[in-house]
Amino acid sequence: MREVQVSCHLPYLLALDSREYPTPAQGGSVHLSRTFSLGLENTAEQTFASMLFNADDDASPDNIDRLQREQADKLLRRVNHLLRWYRATTGQPTIIDLTRAQASPFRFTFKESGARWGDPSTLEYEPSNATLPQAPHAQIVRAVLNGLTSKGDPDVATLNLLDAEYALSVGRFRESVLLSWGAIDSTFVRKFKALVDARLTDEWSEGRDFLKGIDFGLRHKMTTGWRLLTGQSLHAEPDDFWKELSSSYRIRNTVIHEGQIATEDDAKLAIKVARKILKIVASFPAPV
């Protein structure tokens, strides 16, 4: 076993001493120091973050790749934990959690010699850059004109989901989770209530109100209630979707009710779940 250092440069220059910072909530610690990055015209001072881990001398390429990704994520979790405390302490709103792409590249070197570890010895994640839309140009123009002449605004769930994707891209993971579930709530619950009123018109009004109210929980609405109204249940969706939905729902609750943080993977899962639910809901026409 040999000690390997995983490191990255932060996009923020932190007003902190060069030293080891314990991160017990994330296990272990993170070491910060100041370094200079060489630019085309001048040098810029940056904060350098690193931590140590043990690696087998005879690790296979697949195991090295897996270990690099695991350790890079560990370092990033510790860095983000520190950044949240730094943000709260300094009152600087622009200091936010980093995505994997923003913290990239992660570099791996042997502690003793400084030689590179792994082939490659650098792990880099690509950012999610904006791309041109895939729809034909004329179709986009026509849709924009139709929207403008309607004198209304786009559906709030559509905008919420786009906001969630942007929040993910800039490291605001909690906001991304909340915006994703805001899109789910505004779309699914609204459609569910409309279906209850349309299909149970002659039913006891208090019974309808119960189905639409908070006492009949959201996941009950998505399963038993949705099956009664549409013949389908989100619990029966393929590819472990219900498991992913339930996991994201629990994360959403801990964020709202317990003030917990969310990770990059939590945000990605919330967006994935929201996209799926919005697609399912859109497949059922609005009651007339």
Residue at token pair 């690696």:
55
Write the pLDDT tens digit of every residue in 63-107.
Answer: 999 999 999 999 999 999 999 999 999 999 889 899 999 999 999
Handedness of CA 230, 194, 257, 264 (dihedral sign): positive
Q: Is the confidence at residue 136, as pLDDT, over 90? A: no
Of 226, 218, 263, nearest to 245 by C-alpha is 218
Q: Are 59 and 46 in contact (CB under 8 A)?
A: no
DSSP H helix total and E strand total for the chain: 11, 6
pLDDT, tens only, 21-75 = 999 999 899 999 987 655 545 567 889 999 999 998 888 899 999 999 999 999 9
The residue whose two tokens read 């994360």 is: 251
Q: Which domains does the chain have, with CATH numbers?
A: 2-123 (no CATH), 140-282 (1.20.120)
- Residue 275 identity (one-letter amino acid): R
Q: Rounded to whole angstroms, what are the CA distances from 86 to 82, 131, 256?
A: 6, 34, 22
Matching residue, tokens 């639409």? 212
CB 225 within 8 A of CB 235: no
CA 108 to chain centre: 26
Query: Which pLDDT tens digit goes with each residue over 168-223?
Result: 998 999 999 999 999 998 899 889 998 998 888 888 888 888 988 888 888 999 99
